[in-house]
């Protein structure tokens, strides 16, 4: 009996924030599934170079690219298409989260605008350019019927986007917007054969969450909200992202896939 394969053979994927954490796990998994992968990094060049070397430079490339404006997002898509000749998959994974609690009374305009710029403005530019490229490269075809799709967009949200997060109003606002974008774009882009879905992690063992998890009280509060009693490994987020980009998820669009150990059930 032959096995079931989650293959991305022949596909080109752009994964933002790919040098570490969830992004790096997704780059590795997509590479194993046969995709050609572009990813960006902002400052972690050594980690990005090491990941390219690990996965093989022939079908992997890392771009130094800040993502804080719509044009930044469009530029990264252009660089991917220029290098590989097309784009089939966009994973918008990058983002920032201030680990320190900041009450709304004292949150600065700078923090608010910076979080929105990175977590939302650049995502708009990425989606705009990627969807246009996917539509153009498939314009001569009838939108895919049955298994498969003309393109896949997967946005990374958070439990904070569904139930809010006290003292992190900026982050919760952006992640809630990502969920709304997923639902609206799913119906808009469906006629073009482009599937738009979202993965919403909870706490994940990454560099971004490390300062919070290092604080015993914060860690205890977090674990108390997770029925599975632990935080996720980045690969446990990358796996559902991969699934959403395969023909097995060809009839899914506009979905918010919760990968948080059951946390939203008790939040």
12-15/89-92 β-pairing: parallel
E-strand ranges in 143-211 read 151-156, 194-201
Residues labelled catalytic: 171
* Mean pLDDT per 10-residue segment, the chain (267 residues): 79 94 95 95 86 81 95 98 97 92 96 98 98 87 59 96 92 97 97 96 85 85 89 95 95 96 76
The burial of 229, by beta-carbon neighbours within 10 Å (0-12 exposed, 13-18 middle, 19 or more buried), is given as exposed
d(CA 33, CA 235): 14
Q: Bridge partners of 152? A: 89, 195
Q: How high is the pLDDT of residue 1?
A: 43
* Alpha carbon distance 51, 31 (integer Å): 11
Report the pLDDT value the prediction gives residue 148, as an integer from 0 to 100.
Answer: 64
Q: How far apart are the first and last CA of the chain?
A: 43
Q: Tokens at residue 167, please? A: 């003292």
Which pair of tokens denotes residue 262? Answer: 């059951």
Dihedral of the alpha carbons of 185, 155, 126, 151, in degrees to the nearest 10 = -70
What's residue 251's pLDDT? Answer: 94
Which residue segments constitute the domains of the chain, with CATH numbers given?
Answer: 12-206+233-260 (3.40.50.720)
Compute the distance between CA of residue 250 and CA of residue 149 in angstroms, rounded to an integer. 6
Question: Quick one: DSSP state of residue 200?
Answer: E
Distance CA 240, CA 246 (A): 10
* Structural tokens at position 245: 């980009």
Which is nearest to 254 in space by CA: 176, 188, 175, 158? 188
- Any idea what DSSP says for residue 35? -
What are phi and psi for residue 161, nearest 5 degrees? Answer: -75, -15
- pLDDT reported for residue 146: 52
184: tokens are 């609206």
pLDDT at 205: 86
Q: Can you tell me the distance from the alpha carbon of 204 to that of 219, in angstroms, rounded to the nearest whole number?
A: 12
């Amino acid at each position: 009996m032959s096995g079931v394969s989650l293959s991305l053979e022949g596909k080109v994927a752009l994964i933002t924030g790919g040098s570490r954490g969830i992004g790096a796990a997704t780059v590795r998994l997509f590479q194993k599934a046969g995709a050609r992968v572009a990813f960006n990094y902002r400052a972690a060049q050594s980690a990005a170079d090491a990941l390219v070397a690990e996965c093989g430079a022939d079908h992997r490339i890392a771009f130094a690219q800040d993502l804080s404006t719509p044009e930044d997002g469009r530029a990264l898509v252009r660089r991917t298409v220029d290098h590989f000749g097309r784009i089939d998959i966009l994973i918008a994974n990058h983002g920032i989260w201030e680990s320190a609690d900041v009450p709304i009374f004292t949150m600065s305009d700078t923090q608010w605008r910076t979080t929105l710029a990175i977590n939302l403005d650049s995502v708009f530019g990425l989606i705009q350019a990627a969807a246009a490229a996917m539509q153009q490269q498939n314009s001569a075809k009838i939108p895919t019927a049955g298994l498969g799709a003309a393109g896949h967009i997967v946005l990374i949200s958070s439990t904070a986007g569904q139930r809010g997060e006290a003292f992190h109003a900026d982050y919760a606002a952006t992640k809630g917007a990502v969920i709304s974008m997923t639902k609206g774009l799913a119906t808009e882009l469906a006629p073009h054969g482009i599937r738009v879905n979202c993965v919403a992690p909870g706490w994940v063992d990454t560099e971004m969450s490390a300062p919070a998890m290092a604080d015993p009280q914060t860690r205890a509060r977090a674990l108390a909200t997770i029925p599975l009693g632990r935080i996720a490994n980045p690969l446990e987020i990358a796996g559902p992202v991969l699934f959403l980009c395969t023909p097995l998820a060809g009839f899914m669009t506009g979905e918010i896939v919760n990968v948080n150990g059951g946390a939203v059930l008790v939040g």
